[in-house]
Amino acid sequence: MKLKTLPIFLIFISMGMIDSAGPMVSLAQGSFKISNTMASLLPMLAYIMYGVLSVPIGLLQDKKGKKFVLNFGLTIALLGLIIPIFSGMYGKMVVDGSSMIQFYKILMAILLLGAGGSILQVSGNPIMRDISEEGHYSKNLSLAQSFITIGSSMGFIIPVIMLRAFGLDWSILFPLFACIVLISFVLLNTFKITEKKMEDDHHASFKSCFKLLGNGYVLAMVLGLFVYCGLEISMSAHVPILLREKFGISVEKMGLLISWSLFYLPILAGRFLGSLILSRIRPRRLLLFTVLMALAGLFLIFSSSFTLTLIGIFLVGLGFANIFPLIFSITIEHMPEHTNELSGLMVSAIAGGAFIPPVMGMVVDLTSIQTAFVVPVLCVLYLLFVAIINNKKPGNINERIFS
Domain segments of the chain as ranges: 3-192+204-401
Q: What is the DSSP string of 120-175?
A: HHHHHHHHHHHHSPTT-HHHHHHHHHHHHHHHHHHHHHHHHHHHHHH---GGGHHH
C-alpha 42/C-alpha 51 separation (Å) is 16
pLDDT digits (tens, 9 = 90+) for 145-191: 788 888 888 888 898 888 888 988 889 999 999 999 999 999 999 98
- pLDDT category of residue 229 using cuts at 50, 70 and 90: very high
Give the rounded distance of the alpha carbon of 294 from its chain centre.
17
C-alpha 88/C-alpha 162 separation (Å) is 17
Between helix 66-86 and helix 6-16 the angle, nearest 10°, is 50
Mean pLDDT of the chain: 83
Is pLDDT above 60 for 137? Answer: no
C-alpha 307/C-alpha 235 separation (Å) is 18
- pLDDT category of residue 399 using cuts at 50, 70 and 90: very low
C-alpha 123/C-alpha 15 separation (Å) is 11
Which of 53-67, 83-97, 100-114, 198-212 bottoms out in mean pLDDT, i.e. has the lowest? Answer: 198-212
Which of 43-57, 69-83, 198-212 bottoms out in mean pLDDT, i.e. has the lowest? Answer: 198-212
Residue percentage of the chain with pLDDT more than 90: 33
Around Cβ 70, how many Cβ atoms within 10 Å? 26
Is pLDDT above 60 for 1? Answer: no
pLDDT digits (tens, 9 = 90+) for 48-57: 888 888 888 8
C-alpha 403/C-alpha 384 separation (Å) is 20
* CATH of the structural domain 3-192+204-401, one choice from 3.90.1170.50, 1.20.1250.20, 3.40.980.10, 3.20.20.70: 1.20.1250.20
The whole-number average pLDDT for the span 5-12 is 87
Residue 95: predicted pLDDT: 64
C-alpha 319/C-alpha 316 separation (Å) is 5
Residue 315: predicted pLDDT: 95
SS3 content of the chain, % helix, strand, coil (to 5): 85, 0, 15
The gap between the terminal CA atoms of the chain, to the nearest Å, is 48
Residue 295: predicted pLDDT: 97
pLDDT digits (tens, 9 = 90+) for 257-277: 777 888 888 988 887 787 677
Residue 339 CA: distances (Å) to CA of 90, 172, 212, 332, 333: 43, 40, 11, 6, 9
Q: What is the DSSP string of 350-384?
A: GGHHHHHHHHHHHHHHHS-HHHHTHHHHHHHHHHH
C-alpha 264/C-alpha 108 separation (Å) is 26
Residue 141: predicted pLDDT: 64
C-alpha 250/C-alpha 237 separation (Å) is 14
